[in-house]
Structure 1
Amino acid sequence: MKQPTLPPAPARDLTSWLILLGLLALVVASFASLPLQWSAFFTAEAVSSAREFLAGFAPPETSTPFLMKTLVALWETLAMSAIGTLLAAIVGLPLALAGAGRLGRAARAVTRLVLNILRSIPELVWAAVLLVLAGLGPMAGTMALAAHTAGVLGRLFADALENVEPHAEQTLRTNGARPLAAFLYATLPQALPQMLSYTLYRWENNIRAAAVLGVVGAGGLGQMLKYHLSLFQMPSAATVVIAMLVLVALVDAASYALRRALTR
């Protein structure tokens, strides 16, 4: 029996090849321009210094008062990430409607610019600015996460809405449904699982970001870690690091299970 022949692969145009060559040239130039000294990691002095530094973390601090203090900081970090992500989703959804062109081309261009600004500023920079306004503590960290994540989720939500097939909404509007009702009953249900998946994934990232924000005084485990490292209290720092790892692992597992359930 004669095997069916596969159709020929589509030919790449000149623009695609130029983009690939440009990316390759960028990678080569990046390696050539940076003074990367890989051998310095494997010298006897570097290995000995790393071993001595890591040995200072053992054994971790396990006293009951310190564990309770770490648990409070862990909860603070978790709360910062959860509230920051929730606020970002609430702000990102209306921005996504404008960013998806629902309010006209001019509103789309302006909103996309706003979203680019929000997400191009790192959380640490947002936290440094907000610490001046709100002072030290989790308030500045929470708002910093919300500001950056609103830009990310707004862009992702807008792309999800733009990628939805418009036929269902057009059918409802043709049959007399109002634009808002057609959007709520036809377009939003199609995009909602993907939007929820994006939100949960950003929550995972914000757990790590919330821990880092504590380094600049925004509360949580990061602030504890900076404090004990600055005093060279390595066993206490080891306990904080372990708490970070446990928190990230638990949130990753919970988020993965929720995303699997939503995308089935």
Structure 2
Amino acid sequence: MLKATPRDPAAVPRGLLSLLAIALLWPGIQLAELNPWVLLQPDSTRAMGSFVAGFWPPAHDAEFLRLLGDATLQTLAIATAGMALALLLAVPASLLASRALSLSAASHGGRPNGLGRSLRWPVRGLLIVLRSVPEIVWALLFVRAVGLGPTAGVLAIALTYAGMLGKVYAEIFESVDQRPAHALLQSGSGRLGAFLYGIMPSASAELTSYTVYRWECAVRASVVMGFVGAGGLGQQIDLSMRMFAGAEVASMLLTFLVLVLLADQLSRALRTRWA
């Protein structure tokens, strides 16, 4: 005789959570004025169709390709220079914000004292301020301060990504096994030595993967910031879209796709190398 399938004990909680998620999502949809059906209206489909029809074939004349190459190199330069400045801020800030190298934590079984917390909170607050302001807002501010061009994009990425990298680096340092670093600190090693030999061997793969991912995000951000005058591919896409040059937009989007694919392959290779 077949036994009856036992009732799932988690069915009711999952159902209630699903209903709660829908109840919370619906007001958000209303506030966002989401109406995907507007894309199916005749005027919308006609406008999109006429614009997309101009995407093929992509622009490939020699003069445009030279312009595209310069814009691509400028985009990569903005992202890389911004990340370099962000790392200069994020690495020391993450070490100050992390409990991994706390002498009091090493000597009290992993529990930091009040002095350590009082020193870490201002740094964590600074990181919160830096990452809470979107990079495009920083770009708008720097465009007014230094004028149009890639400098505004570099500074915007540097500040925003310093906050992001500093927070995540500190969490990575705290998530790895702390015993090697604590043993080094208790045996008289300096904090730099404890970091290099006690923390980095376990954290290097995750740090590398996240850094490359953030560089990929910086490339995308530099394209977006080009729409506010920060140079690079974004500024050229904005100009081409204003002139309804769909073929040029298609070439630049394909170039951007290649950049993202290359960044993904680089991240995979580095993860394999450090695994």
State the TM-score, normalizing by the size of structure 2: 0.82
- Between Structure 1 and Structure 2, how many residues are aligned? 251
Q: Equivalent residue for 2:34?
A: 36
Distance 1:180 1:237, change over 3 A: closer
Corresponding position: 1:113 with 2:111:
no
Corresponding position: 1:206 with 2:204:
no
Q: Equivalent residue for 2:6?
A: none
Corresponding position: 1:94 with 2:92:
yes
Secondary structure at the counterpart of residue 119 of structure 2 = helix
CA contact (8 A) 2:172 2:203 kept: yes
Q: Equivalent residue for 1:27?
A: 25
Secondary structure at the counterpart of residue 60 of structure 1 = coil
Paired amino acid for 1:31: I
CA contact (8 A) 2:131 2:160 kept: yes
For structure 1, which segment, 151-160 or 28-37, has the greater mean C-alpha deviation from structure 2 after superposition? 28-37
Q: Equivalent residue for 1:49?
A: 47
CA contact (8 A) 2:229 2:235 kept: yes
Q: Equivalent residue for 1:5?
A: none
Paired amino acid for 2:210: Y
Q: CA deviation at 1:107?
A: 2.1
CA contact (8 A) 2:146 2:152 kept: yes
Q: CA deviation at 1:255?
A: 2.3
Distance 1:195 1:20, change over 3 A: farther
Q: Equivalent residue for 1:64?
A: 62
Task: Give the percent of matched residue pairs that are identical in Structure 1 and Structure 2.
Answer: 36
What root-mean-square deviation, in Å, do the aligned CA atoms of Structure 1 and Structure 2 show? 2.6
Paired amino acid for 1:221: L
Paired amino acid for 2:78: M
Q: Distance in 2 between matches of 1:90 and 1:107?
A: 20
For structure 1, which segment, 118-127 or 235-244, has the greater mean C-alpha deviation from structure 2 after superposition? 235-244
Secondary structure at the counterpart of residue 50 of structure 2 = helix
Deviation string for 1:74-128 (max 9, x for gaps)? Answer: 0111111112112212210110011113572112111111111111111111111
Distance 1:65 1:252, change over 3 A: same
Among residues 134, 141, 161, which one is paired with 1:149 in the alignment? 161
Q: Distance in 2 between matches of 1:242 and 1:173?
A: 51
For structure 1, which segment, 226-235 or 69-78, has the greater mean C-alpha deviation from structure 2 after superposition? 226-235
CA contact (8 A) 2:143 2:230 kept: yes
State the TM-score, normalizing by the size of structure 1: 0.85
Q: Distance in 1 between matches of 2:118 and 2:16?
A: 32
Structure 1: runs of 5+ lacking an equivalent: 1-8
